[in-house]
């Protein structure tokens, strides 16, 4: 059996196998091939472990970057939807066909998930903030907002009927949708409960 001893080479600061292998040992040759098999195997194992750790670290960094990118994309999407809802609500404040309050509630909900500063600005607005706060805290819809919402639904249903001339099933589904929405709006409290 060959003897194995290790020593430290000062110039490379690595452990080197100083194995004394007879020329007839399996895996060796008279030209010295196979002398440092054990040292090479240890180095390969260490290198493999280092590469795996580096790959694991890179994978974790990539996963973290992907999570950050997903979070940024989600926040940007909510912010875009919030601005779109706010724009439709602003148009609804001028046109009687569009409801305002529901779009402002949607905008506040989107801003809550994307930008707390924008949510605070909307809630602190002297005109648009109180209906949103009343909805959030008490589920209340002011009577004026109810009237505009139900009137807008009536106009929307009338335009739908006049333009499409729906058959029985489509007409039934439209009446069910608009009627259910109007019933929901009308059954909400008009003022905050004290």
CB 111, CB 122: distance < 8 Å: yes
Q: Which residue is listed with tokens 């607005």?
A: 125
| Ranges of residues in the chain whose predicted pLDDT is under 50 | 1, 5-8, 13-25, 27-33, 35
| Tens of pLDDT, residues 101-140 | 888 889 999 999 998 999 999 999 998 888 888 888 888 8
Structure confidence at residue 61 (pLDDT) = 64
CB 185, CB 143: distance < 8 Å: no
Structure confidence at residue 28 (pLDDT) = 47
E runs forming strands in the chain: 6-9, 14-17
Question: Quick check: helix, strand or coil at residue 17?
Answer: strand
Structure confidence at residue 31 (pLDDT) = 47
Q: In 3D, which of 191, 194, 53 has the Cα closest to residue 135?
A: 191
Structure confidence at residue 82 (pLDDT) = 93
Q: Which residues neighbour 19 within 8 Å (Cβ) at sequence distance 6 or greater?
A: 2, 3, 4, 5, 35, 36, 37, 38
Structure confidence at residue 137 (pLDDT) = 87
What pTM value is reported for the model? 0.54
Structure confidence at residue 144 (pLDDT) = 81
């Amino acid at each position: 059996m060959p003897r194995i001893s290790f020593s430290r080479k000062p110039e490379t600061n690595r452990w080197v196998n100083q194995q004394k292998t007879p020329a007839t040992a399996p895996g060796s040759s008279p030209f010295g091939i196979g002398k440092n098999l054990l040292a090479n195997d240890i180095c390969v194992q260490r290198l493999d472990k280092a590469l795996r750790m580096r790959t694991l670290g890179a994978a974790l960094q990539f996963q973290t970057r992907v999570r950050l990118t997903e979070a940024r994309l989600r926040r940007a999407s909510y912010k875009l939807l919030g601005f779109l809802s706010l724009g439709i609500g602003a148009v609804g404040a001028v046109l009687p066909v569009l409801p305002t309050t529901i779009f402002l509630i949607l905008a506040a909900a989107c801003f809550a998930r994307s930008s707390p500063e924008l949510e605070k600005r909307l809630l602190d607005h002297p005109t648009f903030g109180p209906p949103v706060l009343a909805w959030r805290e008490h589920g209340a819809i002011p009577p004026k907002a109810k009237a505009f919402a139900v009137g807008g639904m009536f106009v929307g249903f009338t335009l739908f009927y006049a333009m499409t001339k729906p058959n029985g099933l489509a007409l039934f589904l439209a009446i069910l949708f608009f009627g259910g929405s109007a019933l929901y709006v009308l059954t909400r409290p008009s003022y905050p409960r004290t």
